[in-house]
Amino acid sequence: MKAVLGEPADLIAKAMSSAKVSPRITSRTGRIASKNFKVENLSAKKDSLVFRFLLDGERANATIKLWMTRRPSGNWEIVKSDTLFSK
């Protein structure tokens, strides 16, 4: 993932790992069987990113969308997230 995304990859990997075991998510999806990700929008200046990842669970699926920005310090930060559940 780091080869594709560069610097924000570590923050995204942490968010994906956290979501996979989150009681708020797993209470609706059941055990997570697989995950997938997609970069939706990387700004021309490469200072903002919209990223979506999908978690396939035993009972339902969760699609998590993250809006990220690079702060003046150079650190990436998640500024907004949204979770959509589907069967």
Over the stretch 21-79, which tens digit does the pLDDT of each residue have?
Answer: 999 999 999 999 988 887 776 665 678 888 898 999 999 999 999 999 989 998 899 99
Between residues 9 and 23, the one the model is more confident about:
23
Residue-level pLDDT at 67: 92
What number of residues does the chain have?
Answer: 87
Give the pairing of strands 61-70 and 76-86. antiparallel
List Cβ<8 Å contacts ≥24 apart for 67-74: 68/8, 68/11, 68/12, 70/7, 70/8, 70/46
Q: Report yes or no on whether pTM surpasses 0.85.
A: no
**What are the φ and ψ backbone dihedral angles of 26, each rounded to 5 degrees?**
-70, -20
* CATH 3.10.450.320 is right for the domain spanning 2-86: yes
Q: How far apart are CA 46 and CA 12, in angstroms?
A: 15
CB contact at 8 A, 87 and 60: yes
